[in-house]
Amino acid sequence: MNTILVVDDEVGICCVIQHLLVRQGYVVTAMTDGRAALEAVARDEYAAALIDLNLAEIDGKQVIRAARAAWPNMPIIMMSGLVLESGCGTPDLPGMSARIPGLYGLAKPFKPMDLIQLVQDILSFPAGDALAWPAAPRLESPAAAPARR
């Protein structure tokens, strides 16, 4: 199964992520409504999910918790346009420690290759083997990245 769920209330972001992943051979279900995402994760199984933390009507953390409850072994990428305190890595949200296997962070805006590489990395491990999942990568946000010459 290569179906990936993408949830972001910005249509443009959903379209870009969907385009990038479809070009890599994945089937993508993209949605901009958090309530629809709650129903989708309760009903359908996905290889992975990319979920924005700051959805318009439903908190992205709610969708992440529902996805984790329904599919405990599904890798989840938390996306956020907010600059993380350290500038990189996975945010440590209440009840969602960065140490939870299968939970990753991706700062927006991101480079297309960073997204593709992260998805390929997390899907290269057996879904049922949470201990085999790679550690959450330390992805730099654009604000923290050193200037290129």
CB 68 within 8 A of CB 101: no
Determine the straight-line distance between the first and last CA of the chain, rounded to whole angstroms. 42
Q: Which tens digits make up the pLDDT trace of 87-145? A: 444 454 444 445 567 888 888 889 999 999 999 999 987 654 544 545 544 444 444 44
Q: What are phi and psi of 46, to 5 degrees?
A: -130, 155
Q: Given this model, what pLDDT does residue 127 score?
A: 58
Q: Which tens digits make up the pLDDT trace of 22-71? A: 999 999 999 999 999 999 999 999 999 999 998 988 889 999 999 999 99
CB 122 within 8 A of CB 134: yes
Return the residue matching tokens 């908190």: 59
- Measured CA to CA in angstroms, residue 38 lies from 15, 116, 128, 133 at distances of 20, 24, 22, 24
Output the pTM of the full model.
0.78
Burial group, residue 81, by CB count within 10 angstroms (0-12, 13-18, 19+) = middle
Q: Positive or negative CA dihedral for 64, 76, 90, 108?
A: negative
CA distance 41 to 64: 9
Beta bridge partners of 103: 76
Q: Given this model, what pLDDT does residue 129 score?
A: 53
Q: Using alpha carbons only, what angle is made at residue 137 by residues 116 and 33, rounded to the nearest 5 degrees?
A: 60
Return the residue matching tokens 């890595």: 89
